[in-house]
């Protein structure tokens, strides 16, 4: 038994006798904070479309009113960037649609710049005690962006929603479609919950909806991503550097690149941390990866630590790499042996991973030499290849758990 503590104030017991079952997609979690009640006479604003750029009116409304409602019949057209940082005790009740323009020249020059991985975003939302809900839709108008990116790989495409320097935030019952790039970036957040988010970004041309991650979590602590459905063409959820105390539960991911820790250790002189992560009850379909950890190796890379990571109850169908650790990311075996990763991986559990892989190898644990992967356990693994022969590979790692026997003796480099 392992005990997984987080700063939510609860513990998750990971017991080897857990019975495999399909995800229920029933909420299990309540936010670790409460929103202050608003006075009865608190001002409430209802925002309808103006026929032009609705961004200035939206900004004025959120400044003036504790609650801003966008009615079900309304589509707000956002043609200029939204800076909603420094908010306090605000409720955005989105029943209708917020639609961002696809004016590539404007957004390329005016989107808020995110230094991490050189990004831009339509919308910065930050502050304290923020509720964003209502059952409505965020539409990123991504098709033109995807088509243009196919012939211009240097194009900066906006993230739809960036929660920045925020604490005590609940985003709930929101649909997100057609994001030009990532759907959600959480940057410097604490006590942030996403619940019942439906994400869909599918191209209607021959050009892929590339890099449309569901969530990227960066420099944030105490986060839950729950009860959501994601159809996209990149990571379902990615834990970027300095992410701690995360629960991801009850997700249905289709076409994705998996639930990914990393990549980490990319930049020389930078120390990355990801620790205390639980990803549980995940359905993964037609995906590139299932449960994944990736860390850079090679000359002039950074360093870091990945610690206390649990992937539990993954139900995978036609997944290329159902289970993967790649501590030689972006290198080959020869270079990785010469320049091993400086991002150490410790205390990782893959438990109750079932389903089918679309390639012969269904689990690959590729670690750098010199003991840089330790305490890696696999339990209750039941994976088969749709190509007939099923195989497991590993290098430079001592595997424990009842599924260790599935692996041949690991290659030592």
Among this protein's residues, is 91 annotated catalytic? no
Determine the 3-state secondary structure of 163 from DSSP.
strand
With residue 325 as reference, give the H or E element that holds it: strand 321-329
Q: Helix, strand or coil for residue 334?
A: helix
DSSP track, 343-384: EEEEEEEEEEEEEEESSSEEEEEE--TTT-EEEEEEEEEEEE
CB 61 within 8 A of CB 34: no
The candidate with the shortest Cα–Cα distance to 236, out of 288, 272, 192, is 288
Query: Contact, 341 vs 328, CB < 8 A?
Result: yes
> How far apart, in whole angstroms, are the C-alpha atoms of residue 375 and residue 378?
10
How many Å apart are CA 14 and CA 3, to the nearest integer? 6
CA distance 232 to 176: 11
Q: What token pair was written down for 34?
A: 């409460």
3-state SS class at 388: coil
- Quote the CA–CA distance of 194 and 66 in Å, as a whole number: 21
Of residues 91, 183, 207, 257, which has the active-site annotation?
257
Element containing residue 104 per DSSP (H, E): helix 104-110
Beta bridge pairs of residue 319: 357
Sign of torsion over alpha carbons 268, 270, 276, 279: negative
Neighbours of 321 (CB within 10 A): 22
C-alpha angle 247-249-250 in degrees, rounded to nearest 5: 170
CA distance 136 to 125: 17
Residue 15, classified by CB atoms within 10 Å of its CB into exposed (0-12), middle (13-18) or buried (19+), is exposed
Determine the Cα–Cα distance for residues 171 and 84; give it in Å rounded to an integer: 15
Q: For residues 135 and 173, is the Cβ–Cβ distance under 8 A?
A: yes
Active site residues: 257
């Amino acid at each position: 038994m392992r005990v997984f503590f987080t700063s939510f104030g609860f513990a998750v017991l990971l017991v080897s006798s857990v019975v495999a079952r399909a995800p229920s997609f029933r909420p299990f979690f309540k936010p670790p904070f409460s929103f202050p009640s608003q006075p009865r006479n608190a001002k409430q604003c209802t925002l309808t479309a103006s026929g032009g750029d609705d961004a200035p009116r939206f900004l004025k409304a959120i400044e003036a009113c504790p609650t801003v409602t966008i009615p079900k019949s309304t589509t707000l057209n956002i043609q200029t960037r939204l800076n909603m940082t420094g908010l306090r005790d605000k409720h955005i009740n989105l029943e209708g649609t917020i639609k961002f323009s696809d004016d590539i020249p404007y957004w390329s020059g005016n989107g808020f710049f995110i230094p991490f991985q050189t990004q831009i975003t339509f919308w910065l939302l930050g502050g304290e005690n923020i509720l964003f809900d209502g059952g409505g839709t965020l539409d990123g108008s991504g098709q033109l962006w995807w088509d243009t990116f196919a012939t211009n790989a240097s194009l900066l495409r906006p993230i739809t929603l960036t929660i920045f320097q925020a604490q005590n935030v609940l985003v709930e019952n929101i649909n997100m479609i057609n994001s030009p790039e990532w759907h959600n970036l959480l940057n410097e957040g604490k006590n942030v919950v996403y619940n019942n988010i439906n994400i869909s970004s599918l191209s209607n041309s021959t050009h892929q909806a590339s890099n449309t991650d569901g969530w990227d979590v960066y420099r944030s602590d105490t986060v839950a991503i729950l009860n959501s459905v994601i159809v996209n063409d990149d990571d379902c959820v990615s834990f970027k550097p300095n992410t701690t105390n995360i629960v991801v539960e009850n997700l249905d991911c289709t076409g994705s690149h998996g639930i990914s820790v990393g990549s980490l250790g990319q930049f020389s002189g930078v120390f990355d941390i990801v620790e205390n992560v639980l990803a549980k009850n995940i359905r993964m379909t037609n995906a590139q990866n299932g449960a994944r950890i990736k860390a850079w190796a090679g000359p002039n890379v950074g360093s870091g630590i990945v610690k206390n990571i649990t992937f539990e109850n993954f139900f995978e169908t036609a997944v290329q790499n159902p289970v993967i650790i790649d501590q030689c990311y972006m290198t080959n075996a020869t270079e990785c042996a010469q320049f091993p990763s400086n991002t150490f991986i410790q205390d990782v559990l893959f438990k109750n991973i079932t389903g089918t892989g679309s390639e012969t190898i269904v689990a690959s644990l590729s670690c750098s030499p010199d003991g840089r992967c330790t305490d890696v356990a696999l339990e209750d693994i039941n994976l088969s290849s749709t190509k007939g022969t099923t195989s497991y590979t590993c290098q430079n790692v001592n595997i424990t758990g009842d599924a260790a026997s599935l692996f041949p003796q690991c290659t030592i480099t």
